[in-house]
Amino acid sequence: MDTAAVREIAYCPVKGLALTLHNTVDLEFTGVRDNRRFHLVGTDGRLANGKRAGALVQIAATCDPDGTALALRFPCGSVIESEVALGAPIVTDFYGRPAGGRLVEGPFAQALSDFVGRDLRLVRLDEPGAGSDRGSEGSVSLVSTATLERLALEAERETIDGRRFRMLFTITGVGEHEEETWLGRTVAIGDAIVRLEDVVGRCAVTTQDPDTGVPDLDTLRILKRYRPTGGAEPLPIGVWGQVEQPGVVRIGDAVRAQ
């Protein structure tokens, strides 16, 4: 086996918006501090995501590590940028897990609502790591290029853009789905150590083009055909886990199962 290494690092400070690529990240016990620090809810207070507003992936977001200033860049080139003004407290249900935060006042929510044609509100979470689907215990995710290549083969495509699976790390140097053999083990990624817990079960968001949000590939049908079950979650691609030892991770850093 070749030496496994970090090929790509990607995340977004606002859940559901465009992923941005990074050369280095600082993994804390709660994950990357500004990853998914913000999320969107509808007027009913329920979590909003790409299943009903796929066009959100056309908007790029940046913020400082503590989420005190935010910038949104729209595909037309316009940018909304300001300090984050916090309003009323709100608790969002993240797939059965409550996550506390504050509504963000100012121009952001209206601009996002206008773009997707749906009333949305922007929330900043109180705690880093709470925006992960599984909380800080699942703040790290990774997939291998070999796994993506196998999926492309099954889909009869030359390549598949891994951004549609929204993984924090993409790694090279392992076989297809080999990352799943690391479940229950610790893995050194750069200077950090993580414990991988389970596979990532997939939903309809993965059928969408990561640049437009328009469905263009029936990933769920393909996964159901060639790997319908995995660990605790069905239709798996990639794995998730938690940070056991914080540290810096850079592109090209070694990845070593322990």
pLDDT in tens, 200-250: 999 999 999 999 999 999 999 999 998 876 556 789 999 999 999 999 999
- pLDDT of 50 reads 83
Tokens of 196: 């991988």
Note whether 48 and 55 are within 8 A (CB).
Answer: no
What pLDDT does 13 receive? 97
| CATH superfamily, with its number, for domain 5-30+136-257 | PK beta-barrel domain-like (2.40.33.20)
Q: What is the pLDDT of residues 113-123, one digit of tens each?
A: 999 999 999 99
pLDDT at 49: 83
Interval 157-189: pLDDT, tens: 999 999 999 999 999 999 999 999 999 999 999
Give dist(CA 171, CA 10) in Å, integer: 12
The pLDDT-based confidence of 112 (bands split at 50, 70, 90) is very high
Quote the pLDDT of residue 230: 54
Q: For helices 145-155 and 219-226, what crossing angle results, to 10°?
A: 100
Position 197, amino acid: E
Nearest to 49 by CA among 95, 98, 105: 95
Token pair, residue 240, equals 């998730």
**Range 29-53 average pLDDT:** 93
Q: What pLDDT is attached to residue 1? A: 44
> Where does CATH 2.40.33.20 sit in the chain?
5-30+136-257
Q: How many angstroms separate the CA atoms of 65 and 128, rounded?
A: 9
Q: What is the mean pLDDT of residues 137-159?
A: 96
Determine contact, residues 57/68, Cβ cutoff 8 Å: no
Instruction: Identify residue 134 by its one-letter amino acid code.
Output: R
Angle at 50 between CA 44 and CA 56, to 5 degrees: 100
Predicted pLDDT at 231: 57
C-alpha to C-alpha distances, 250 to 42, 85, 142, 199, nearest whole angstrom:
36, 32, 14, 23
| Span 68-106, pLDDT tens digits | 999 999 999 999 999 999 999 999 999 889 999 999 999
φ/ψ of 29, rounded to 5, equals: -60, -30
Query: Is pLDDT at 141 greater than 60 in this prediction?
Result: yes
Residue 256 has pLDDT above 90, yes or no: yes
Average model confidence (pLDDT) across the chain: 95
Map residue 57 onto helix, strand or coil: helix
Mean pLDDT of 23-40: 97
Backbone angles phi, psi at 10, to 5 degrees: -145, 135
- Give the tokens for residue 227: 């790997």
Does pTM surpass 0.85?
Answer: yes
